[in-house]
Structure 1
Amino acid sequence: MNAQAANDIFRKSIQDYHLTDDIDTPIPNPYENGTISQLLYLKNWIDTVQWHLEDIIRSPQIAPEELVAVKRRIDQSNQDRTDTVERIDDWFLSFFGTIERKPGARLNSETPAWLLDRMSILQLKIYHFREQAERSDASEEHRSKAEQKLRILLEQEQDLAMCFDELAEDIRAGVRYMKVYRQMKMYNDPTLNPVLYQQK
C-alpha cells in the first residue's frame, strides 16, 4: 500500500458517495473484507458521511430534536472513525511485524493510519473546494478564492503522500518504527463518563 493507491481508494469512496449524496446510503465497499483496501474505503466513507452531517447540523432551520439526533450521530461517527484508524494500524503492525529494527531506529509519533486519516480528510477538502471553484451559480470572486485554496490543498496532497511513502519505506528498512496507543476516549463509555455513570 502506497500513498497513490490509498488516495485512489479515498477518491473512489467520495465519488461513490456522491452518486446518491445521501448520508443513509449503505456502504458499497467493493473490497474484500479484512484487506487494507476495504479498511481504507470504510474509513473514507465514515469521513464523507460525517462531512455532510457537519453541514446538516449547521442549518439555521434545523429542528432542535433533529439537531440532537445529528449531534449524537456525529459523536458515534467520531468513535467509528477512531476505531477504524486503530484497525488500520493493527493491519500495519501485522504487516511490519517481522521487520527487524536497526540500531538507533527512531520512533515515529504519528502512525501510518493517523497519517492516512489526514490524507482521507484532505481528499474530501479537495473534492469540495473543486466543487466550489466550478460553481456556475457563484461569483467570480467566490470561485477564485476557492481555486486559490484548492491549489494549496493539492500541494498538501503531494506533501502528505511523500511523507506517507517515506514513513512506510523507513519502517520497512528498520530505521523508524511505530507504536499504537489506543485513543482511550471516555465520553462514549458509560463507565468512564461521569455524566453517564452518575445517572445510574
Structure 2
Amino acid sequence: MNATFANDLFRQSIQDYHLTDHVDTSIKNPFSPSDIAFLLYQKNWTDTVQWHLEDIIRSPTIRPDELVAIKRRIDQSNQDRTDTVEQIDAWFSAQFQGITPKPAARMNSETPAWLLDRMSILQLKLYHFREQVDRPSVSDEHRQKAVQKLEVLVEQESDLARCFDELLEDIRNGDRYMKVYRQMKMYNDPTLNPVLYSSQE
C-alpha cells in the first residue's frame, strides 16, 4: 500500500464515473469487499458523485424542491464519506497493530485515511482542471489561468504522495503512531440534533 496505488485507484474511479457522467449511475466496484482497494474505490466514487452534486446545487435555475433533495443527498454523502474514511483507518490500525512505537515516537494528528481523503479530492481537482485546459470554447486567458492552477495541483499531488508514503514508513518504523478518532457527527443523528429530537419530545 502506497500513494501510487491509492492515486491509481482514485483515477480509475473517476474515469469509470465519467463513462456516464451522471450522479445517479450505480457504483460497480470491481474489487473484492475484503480488499483495501474496494474501500479506496468506494471512497473516491462517493467523492466524485458529491463533486457533481455540488455543481448541480449551484444552478441558478434549480427548483427549491430539487435544491432541498440534493442538499439532503450531499448530507448523506458526507456521512458516507466519513464512514468510509473510518473503515480505511480501521484497516490501517489493524495493519500496524503489531508495531510498538519508540519511546520518542510522536502521534500524527492526521491519520492515513484522512490524508487519503485529501488525495482523493485532489485527483478530482486535477481531472476537472485538465478538462478546463482542454475546453475548446474558452478564451486564452481562461485556459492560461487553468494551466497555472493545474501546475500547482500537480505539485500538491507530488507533495501529498510523499507525505503519505513517509507517514506510513514512520509508523512502520515506530517513529510516529496514529489513533483512530470517530468523527461523532451530530446533525444526522435524531437523538443528538436538537431540531430533530425536539420535534419528537
TM-score grouping bracket, smaller chain normalisation: over 0.9
Q: CA deviation at 1:24?
A: 0.9
1:134 and 2:129 matched: no
Per-residue CA deviations over 1:143-162 (Å, capped at 9, x if unaligned) read 11001000000000000000
Measured on the aligned residues, the alpha-carbon RMSD in Å equals: 0.5
| Counterparts of residues 75-114 of structure 1 (less than 5 Å) | 75-114=75-114
Partner of 2:19: 19
Partner of 2:69: 69
Per-residue CA deviations over 1:72-92 (Å, capped at 9, x if unaligned) read 000000000000000000000
Q: CA deviation at 1:34?
A: 2.6
Partner of 2:187: 187
Q: Which amino acid aligns with 2:101?
A: R
User: Matched residues in 1 for 2:42 and 2:173: separation?
Assistant: 29
User: Matched residues in 2 for 1:60 and 1:16: separation?
Assistant: 28
Q: Which amino acid aligns with 1:128?
A: H
User: Matched residues in 1 for 2:155 and 2:28: separation?
Assistant: 30
Q: CA deviation at 1:102?
A: 1.2
User: Matched residues in 2 for 1:127 and 1:11: separation?
Assistant: 8
Partner of 1:117: 117
Per-residue CA deviations over 1:99-136 (Å, capped at 9, x if unaligned) read 11111111000000000000000000000001001100
Pick which of 30-39 and 189-198 moved more. 30-39
User: Matched residues in 2 for 1:115 and 1:188: separation?
Assistant: 24
Partner of 1:161: 161
Partner of 1:38: 38
User: Matched residues in 2 for 1:145 and 1:9: separation?
Assistant: 28
Q: Write out the 4+ residue segments of structure 1 that deviate beyond 6 Å after TM superposition.
A: none
Give SS of 2:32's match: coil
Aligned length: 200
Give SS of 1:6's match: helix
In structure 2, list runs of 5 or more residues that go unmatched. Answer: none
In structure 1, list runs of 5 or more residues that go unmatched. Answer: none
